[in-house]
Amino acid sequence: MKKKKTLLYIGNKLATKGGTATVIDTLSGHLVQEGYTVFTASEKINKAHRLLDMIIVFYRVRSKIDAVLIDTYSTQNFYYATTIGALCRKYNIPYYPILHGGNLPQRLEKSPLKCNRYFGEAALNISPSHYLKEAFNAKGFDNVGYIPNTINIEAYPFKLRKKVAPKLLWVRSFSEIYNPQLALAVLETLIKKGYNATLTMIGPEKDGSLALCKMTAQDRGLPITFTGLLAKKDWIKRSAQSDIFINTTNFDNLPVSIIEAMALGFPIVSTNVGGIPFMIEDTVDGIMVAPKDVSAMVDAILKICENQHISEAMSKAARVKGESYNWSIIKESWHKVLDF
């Protein structure tokens, strides 16, 4: 059997420090199970320390590694990615940017020279969504492959949602770009219409949005449960108490939270931004609405609640879609890329 490669995976590995588990946490574990040796960086919370640690780890292991995977975002973390990419080019080590964040097309416009060098000289850019792949192709990058994010389907018990109520679930980091305030406005509107609606919001504080949501909920007397960050098994268990999953984001790529909601059998109501229209088939496994549109999201929720046929059909279709992201399927694509 051909020996598996030794890899360095660069990203925000902050789950052990109270952050949300991200792709680096899940994918690195999957690759180790497949026989690859994987070094990772970094767990440092401070961004400057994190970049320094990434550079130190790179130099520590560069003589041992065959390739580097780099989680690549569009904001400040873009610069650690390009720094490591430059080091890879200096030492002739193939690197694979893994594209995250619905704003990367804007980064291509904002930093064309840096992007052309970093993405253009990558061995392959890995896009978890067709949305980003098409955006990069449109800018002339032909070295882009599609490999979606993945889950272990066995960890997500399916619950068929038949006759449902507006018991809403929201799972995400509390950040302004994910617009958690929209969820509160939707809940308040449902209550004003006379519905016995509730909302559970699961996720850690990111930029002060959680504190603002708590203040708003208290001021308006809204029945919202804020759990903070929960371990995956804990929020999955809690999710059985809810009927509809809502996603309120203003920008996005291919959120794992939607994949997880599908696997659990949730009818989904989501904003139609970024890569989400490539994930959700509108009116089949979810309903998509315009961002920041309270009325449209409320109408979509009520459409699901008031028609058992729709809720049951969406629940079944969502589970089937979720199963397509199982690691047993997705891993073959990673083997084709990494077994060079």
Report residue 101's pLDDT band, with 50, 70 and 90 as the boundaries: confident
pLDDT of amino acid 251: 87
The alpha carbon dihedral of 322, 328, 329, 331 has a sign of: positive
pLDDT of amino acid 1: 57
Domain ranges of the chain: 6-150+327-338, 153-323
Q: What is the pLDDT of residues 200-252, one digit of tens each?
A: 999 999 999 999 999 999 999 999 999 999 999 999 999 999 999 999 999 88
CATH of the domain spanning 6-150+327-338: 3.40.50.2000
Please give the C-alpha separations between residue 112 and each of 40, 101, 106, 199, in angstroms, as whole numbers: 28, 17, 10, 42
pLDDT of amino acid 17: 64
Please give the C-alpha separations between residue 255 and each of 31, 56, 205, 277, in angstroms, as whole numbers: 20, 30, 17, 12
Task: Provide the 10 A C-beta neighbour count for residue 174.
Answer: 25
In this structure, CATH architecture of domain 153-323: 3-Layer(aba) Sandwich (3.40)
Q: Do domains 6-150+327-338 and 153-323 have the same CATH topology?
A: yes
Q: Mean pLDDT over residues 277-301, rounded? A: 97
Report residue 253's pLDDT band, with 50, 70 and 90 as the boundaries: confident
Q: What is the pLDDT of residues 11-51, one digit of tens each?
A: 998 877 666 778 899 999 999 999 999 999 999 989 999 99
Q: Judge contact between 315 and 160, C-beta under 8 A.
A: yes
Q: What is the pLDDT of residues 149-183, one digit of tens each?
A: 999 999 999 999 999 999 999 999 999 999 999 99
